[in-house]
Structures are given as C-alpha cells and as structure tokens.
Chains A and B, each alone.
Chain A
Amino acid sequence: MIKIVNLHARIGDKEILKGLNLTVKAGEVHAIMGPNGAGKSTLASVLAGREDYEVTEGSVEFEGKDLLDMATDVRAKEGIFLAFQYPVEIPGVSTTNFLKTAVNEVRTHQGKDPLDAVSFLGTMKEKMKIVNIDQSLLSRSLNEGFSGGEKKRNEIFQMAMLDPKLCILDETDSGLDIDALRIVANGVNTLRSKNNAFIIVTHYQRLLDYIIPDFVHVLYNGQIVKSGTKELALELEEKGYDFIKNEVNAVKL
C-alpha cells in the first residue's frame, strides 16, 4: 500500500525526519510509538501533504503512485486519511456541510456519482452508529467547543464517511476516557479490512489492547529505530524509551 524510503523532511532549517523507512501492506495495522518530539506527527503531516514541511530526500510510493507529487486534496482523494492529533476548530462550518463537499469531491475523483442529499444523510446515519456520535454535534461548528473526546470521535466518524485506504491516526487515543477509547477502537476495528491499512501513532499500550497491531515501530530522532510485534509495545510500556535511546546512541558511538 505505502512504501516510504529514506524520507528526510525539514521545517525551516530544522531537519525532523532523517531517513525514515516504512512499508505497510494492505490489511495491516502498524503502530508507531516514540518519545515526544521524535517526529511522529511530522511523518503524519508529510504523508497528508502539509506544505510547511519540505521533503529534502527520499520517496513515498502509495498504491504504485508517487505520493509526494500529489496535492493535499488529491492524496485524500486517492485514499489517504489523517486523523489529527489536534483537530482544528472552524467556526461557521459544520461537519455535515463540509463533509458533503468532501465526500462528493472524493467520489467524483474516483469516478463515482456524487451522493444526493438523501443518500448522504443515509450514509451519515449508518456511520454515526460506528462511533456513537450525535447528529447535533455534527450540525454544530466543526470542533468548536467540542470536548477532547468528541473531537477524536468526529475524526473517526469522518474517516468512516470517506472510506480511505490508508488511515493514519495521530494519537487519537490521547485524552479519551475508557469508554470513548473503546468506542474509537471499535470504530477502527469495524472499518478494518483486507483492503485498507492503518498507521496508528500512540503513546500508550492500552489502545493496542483493543486494536491489535501487526507491527510496532519505535520512531526516535527522525528514524524508525526498532520494529517488532505487539510484544514490543509491552516492553516499551514497562521499560520506557531509555533502553532504545541507549541502544541507538551506543550504535552511533
């Protein structure tokens, strides 16, 4: 699905990603963990197409196409979805309204007919159940005055509406209470299929109790420095990141 090779990215003159490699196949779930400031959100932003970041080296191939060559909206239309760590608030724009535009632009791009108002509402009703989100929340200004948990659930709801191929969840579990965490995890598990893939950025093992990853990676200092299976997450939970940092720094010496 996606093949990231030797990716270098910077913002201003600060280099953040320093030769990152990652390959994700359809049907897989990859968890990315790593200390604060390691570059996890940067990776997510670069893949989604945030213009502030400059890719200086490396390549990203998505479904056989050059991802870095696509405009932000085209990436989404081709099937990339980013659930934001910090979803923005947009006064005066309701989720329902902008999603109608989004869904139909995406469908048009994929050669499908746009949804009319009735089928759009029908799809919405169906997807709302997945994350247990209320209609009234979706008619309000986007994320304005939403609680932390509501914002995250709204992200997953949008993901369900857009039916992407590669879902990147950036700390969607942060700030969720136990129930919300279960709801979000359930949502992801419902959407999981052999045709799509997930990159889940998280700091906590507990999300991975609900969404069982196929692989766990540690991102440190702009690179994936260790990869393993779900046991790696448990080990990190127990020991912290120090042992990894020590390993990496020992190699450098």
Chain B
Amino acid sequence: MEFSELVENEYNIISQTEGENGFRKKAYQQFLTSGIPTTKHEEWKYTDFNKVLKNDYIINHSDLKKEDISQFLFPEMDVNLIVLVNGFVSPALSEIKKQKGLEIKNIQEVEKEINQDIVSSANPFLFLNAALSTNGIYLNILDNTIAEKPIYILNICDKKNNSVLAQPKNYIKIGRNAQVKIIEAYYCIGTNNSFTNVYTEVHAAENSVSELYKLQIGDNTSSLVDSTNVYQSEKSTFTCTTITLNGNIIRNNLNLILNGEYCEGNMNGLYMLNGNTLVDNHSSVDHAVPNCLSNELYKGILDEKSTGVFNGKIFVRKDAQKTNAYQSNKNLLISDDAVVNTKPQLEIWANDVKCSHGATIGKLDKDMLFYLEARGISKKSARAILMNAFAHDVIDRISLAPLKDYLNIFILNRLGLNFLN
C-alpha cells in the first residue's frame, strides 16, 4: 500500500471509532498540505524519509512476551516500566508501582484534557503523529513530588512478521518543585522495516528538575523521527541526553522553549554510527525571557559510510537580556566514507548576552595513536581507546549509574575493548 493510502485509511478508521475530533482533523489536513518533506526543504536538506516510507507498513498490535523484552531492561535499576509495542501501550508488559503524586496513564484516557501545541513547529511529522497517534504515555508528576524511581518508557517495534509503522505520543507534566528522571528507549525485533514517528511534549513547571534520556538503538531497517518540545517555566532545570547507536535514518527534533526566567536547559547528545546509518540532530533553544542558561554538547563518532547532521539553533529574543547560551558539536570521522554536516544557527536580538558556539570535525590524533601503539597496544585497540575517550564526556554527564554502565559496556563491546572492563 502506498504510504498516503495507509495514512488515509488509518485516519478514516480512527475517525469512525473515535467520532469528531477537531484537533486530529486539523492535523490531518495540515499533513495533507505539507506532505513528507523532501531534501528541497531547507530543514530536511540531508535527510529524506520518502524512500523509507516506500516500504509496506502496517499499523498493528503485537503480543510480545516478557522474555522477549528482558534483553532491553536494566536489571540493576528499579524503574517504573512502561512498554509500548508498535506504538501501543502494553499493560501486560508494563510494571508500574504506585507512588503518591505520580500519575502514569495511557494518553488515550486523558486525550481531551491535554492541549498539545503542534502548529508552531511547522513539522510535517508532528502533523502526521497528531493525525494518527492514539496511544502513548501521559505522565504527571504533581507539585512537590519527587519521583522515587526513574520512569522507563520502552518502545519496541516488533517487525518479525511485517513492516511496522508506530506513532506514539507522550505528554509529560512536571509540577512545581517536582523532580523526575525519564528514560525513553527505542529498540526493535525482527528483520522487516519499521518507522517510528514519536512526539513528546514536556511541560516543566517552576523550580522543577528533570532529566530525559533518549536511547536510540535500532537496527539497519528501523527508522525514527523523534520530535520533542519542552516548555520550561521559571527556575526549572531540564536536561535531555540523546544517545544514538544504531538505526537506518534517525531524525531528532528537540526544541527547548525557555518561558520563565532563571531556567536552565541542557542538551547533550552522542551519536556513534557505522554502516549506512544517518542521524540528523536538529535542536533549538528559544530564549524568550531574560536570565536563562542553555548548554548544548553533541558529539559524534562516525565510522564506515555513516552520516551525521547537526543543526543547532539558538534564539535570543529582544527581551532576553543576560542570556547565557553555549553550544558545541564535535565530530570524529573514523573512515574516509563517513560524512558530517554541522551548522550552528544563532539569532540574537538582545544585546547583553553571552553566547558561544563551536563545531569541529576531526580525525583520530596521530600522535595519540602513536603513543598508545608504542606501549604495545594494537592499532585497532588504540583507535578504540581514543573513540571511547571521545565519547566519555557525554556519557559522564549521565546521572543514572546503571544507564551509564550499560552504555559504557555497549560502547566498549562495539569497539571490541574487552580489556578495559
């Protein structure tokens, strides 16, 4: 089935079961107008999903067993686990322990109460998500609540029997003085194709402190568009860390909107790629008010024929005096066939601001390699040690020790560095 046909059918089915829904209808129409962007579109210059969307996708439920997903869990971390399979919440696989002040629901139950803002992003995939998504997580951390356990949102595409289209949508509300750590992971099973188009909206209220980790570990037939909009109120601190280690084509749209003074917004990223993987990290931080701090560090290690794209926008509005905004994108090209396109985009209308940005693309340092080899370390291990070291400062920023260990081991294994464990 053509993708447009699939979208139309699905929209009709949902409309019939659900009844009139103005929000959905509008989104659907907006999607029809925009279509899937091509590389002619400035924001999608390097990243074309049209080819990926030629596959014969099906939107379907799948019954995975506990043993199917155990490989994706963190045995050493006690979490509130929510599992989505093919974009649908699986109550049987999820494990939620009640905590006062913490609400975790399927977004379907509260859809009418939330009012998602999709228009301002002008992102066709957001329209598509809003038109077709029916499931996802609604997370509400009430005022003054500290979530005791990290929330683990595990997304799995089961593409054993057919190619899968998954479109979950999450709404995360972090109350005043509330604190929470959330992990969103994207994995898949099976050899068919999958395309996940997820939208997450975060509202971080006054004085809240939150961390969101995105773990993107697909395979060479899984593609992902991950759009996240974060609205921060006064004195809130929000940190997003996006780790991409595998996949076909991955596009991240991460937008921080700093609406209250004395906010801190952090964006960390690591992409470590091989094969033909393409990862496109588009981020923006909008300093709408004075006295906020934003800090962005993205690092990429690109091997074989992989491609990395980084586009980081910083807006400092006219009134946003005393803004501090820092951005850095560093890339290590391991092979001659790997490519990086990096572009900082600063638009500053205020005059009393501190902004810095830097982008580097380099190769492994010859002197460092020689030093290690002169100590008896094989070329392969020496290269691996340096790659691991390059990734280190992003990994070190992760505050959840089991997640950090998991990633360290994942990376060491990828590099074949068993002596270091």
Contacts of B373 in A (CB 8 A): 49, 71-73, 76
Q: Scan residues 91-130 of chain A and give those whose CB is less than 8 A from a CB of chain B.
A: 91-93, 97-106, 109, 114
Chain A: residues with Cβ within 8 Å of the partner, total of 34
Main secondary structure on chain B at its contact with chain A? helix
User: A205: shortest Cβ distance to chain B, in Å?
Assistant: 28
Are A100 and B420 in contact (CB-based, < 8 A)? yes
Chain B: residues with Cβ within 8 Å of the partner, total of 26
Are A106 and B388 in contact (CB-based, < 8 A)? no
User: B417: shortest Cβ distance to chain A, in Å?
Assistant: 7
Q: Scan residues 346-387 of chain B and give those whose CB is less than 8 A from a CB of chain A.
A: 365-368, 370-379, 381-382, 385-386
Contacts of A92 in B (CB 8 A): 388-390, 392-393
Are A88 and B367 in contact (CB-based, < 8 A)? yes
Are A101 and B417 in contact (CB-based, < 8 A)? yes
Are B368 and A90 in contact (CB-based, < 8 A)? yes
Contacts of B365 in A (CB 8 A): 88
Q: Say if the beta carbon of A221 comes within 8 Å of chain B.
A: no
**Residue among A49, A75, A98, A109 with max Cβ neighbours from chain B (10 Å):** A98
Contacts of A87 in B (CB 8 A): 371
User: A54: shortest Cβ distance to chain B, in Å?
Assistant: 15
Residue in A51, A84, A90, A114 whose CB lies within 8 Å of B386:
A90
Q: Say if the beta carbon of A50 comes within 8 Å of chain B.
A: yes
Instruction: Knowing A100-B419, A114-B419 are in contact, say whether A106-B374 is a contact too (CB < 8 A).
Output: no
Are B370 and A98 in contact (CB-based, < 8 A)? no
Instruction: Knowing A88-B367, A90-B389, A92-B390 are in contact, say whether A98-B374 is a contact too (CB < 8 A).
Output: no
Closest residue of chain A to B378 (Cβ to Cβ) is A73
Q: 0/1 per residue, B375-417, Cβ < 8 Å to A? A: 1111101100110111011000000000000000000000001
**Residue among B365, B382, B388, B417 with max Cβ neighbours from chain A (10 Å):** B382
Q: In the bound complex, what is the Cα–Cα distance between A49 and B371 (angstroms)?
A: 10
Instruction: Knowing A48-B374, A73-B378, A90-B371 are in contact, say whether A104-B386 is a contact too (CB < 8 A).
Output: no
* B-to-A contact residues, CB < 8 Å: 365-368, 370-379, 381-382, 385-386, 388-390, 392-393, 417, 419-420
* A-to-B contact residues, CB < 8 Å: 48-52, 71-73, 75-77, 81-82, 84, 87-88, 90-93, 97-106, 109, 114, 158, 162
In the complex, besides A100-B419, A101-B381, 15 extra interface pairs with C-beta distance below 8 angstroms are: A48-B370, A51-B370, A72-B374, A73-B382, A75-B374, A82-B374, A88-B371, A92-B389, A92-B390, A93-B386, A102-B372, A102-B375, A105-B376, A105-B377, A162-B376
